[in-house]
Amino acid sequence: MMAALAATELPVIEAEIASLGPWFHNLHLPGGIQTAPAHPLGDFPAFKWQEIAPHVPHDLDGWKVLDIGCNAGFYTFELARRGADVTAIDVDPHYLAQARWAAGRLGLQHRVRFRQMQIYDLVREPGEYDLVWFMGVLYHLRHPLLALDIVRRRTRRLMVMQTMTMPGDQVAMVPEDLGLDERARMQDPGWPVMAFIEKRLRRDPTNWWAPNHACVEAMLRSSGFGVLGRIAHETYLCEPRAGDADELGMVDEELRAATGTGEEEHP
């Protein structure tokens, strides 16, 4: 339990919140203080967590968790409160400064560590995590399948992924092999497709892709994840699955070449 705030502390904390802003996560801090109480999406991401939380093991004691694109650490802190040891990464030092400050305010600094890095840097990080938290990042990546292939190699037990999607829940039956002259079928409703956003979406130049639901599931399967369920809007609970050996071998080779992590030097 954290001690109640002294009256003189409140303005100091509010000034710190203002100086660390703008905030994307509305964190609830001791003393009823919030970091973004007027968030345009509402109490974000607390309302999303309410939906997802029942599907995540309640006791994460002894679990190693990786939060990719942690932002100000809302999910990192919730998972740490369940007992997990959380490593949280983000590319943006602005958000990491918020997360580090908030960890101190919440008294969770001994359970969490924040690192500034790209998701692709995980290819050079040894080890696996019992739970990988991968929310709100995939569509910001120019190379989403590369990222999923890397995330798969860091996942031991569970992975929770959320991505912005294209509208539409249909899933078409995709044949094992499609003839060259059958390509019109790719325009059928429910065929796995991903829209490329060359310009901007919601004024954000880092929104690159919007897959449909069928495509999200297909990409997850193709990267070696089994989808256990859609636990909230655009949110998937997954577990690692062994795929076809040849297919995985092919992916390994491409992954090595794309990331420069090959063991052999080619002349």
**Residues belonging to the chain:** 267
Smallest distance from ligand SAM to CB 164, Å: 9
Of the candidates 153, 150, 124, the residue with the CA atom closest to the CA atom of residue 137: 150
Under rule CB under 6 A, how many of the chain's residues touch ligand SAM?
A: 16
Smallest distance from ligand SAM to CB 24, Å: 6
Does the protein bind ligand SAM through residue 69 (CB under 6 A)? yes
Residue nearest to ligand SAM (CB): 69
Exposure pattern of 46-77 as b/e (b: 16+ CB <10 Å)?
A: bebbeebbeebeeebeebbbbbbbbbbbbbbb
- Is the Cβ of residue 26 or residue 191 nearer to ligand SAM in the bound state? 26
CB-based contact 139:210 (threshold 8 Å): yes
What residue type is 265 in one-letter code?
E
Does the protein bind ligand SAM through residue 140 (CB under 6 A)? yes
Strand 209-211 versus strand 194-196 pairing type: antiparallel
Does the protein bind ligand SAM through residue 136 (CB under 6 A)? yes
| Interface segment toward ligand SAM; rule CB under 6 A; list 64-72, 98-106, 150-158, 223-231 | 64-72
Does the protein bind ligand SAM through residue 163 (CB under 6 A)? no
Give the contacts of 27 (CB within 8 A, at least 6 positions apart): 34, 35, 36, 72, 73, 74, 77, 102, 106
Does the protein bind ligand SAM through residue 45 (CB under 6 A)? yes
CB-based contact 236:133 (threshold 8 Å): no
Does the protein bind ligand SAM through residue 141 (CB under 6 A)? yes
Does the protein bind ligand SAM through residue 78 (CB under 6 A)? no
> Which residues are near ligand SAM by CB under 6 A?
45, 68-69, 71, 89-92, 95, 118-119, 135-137, 140-141
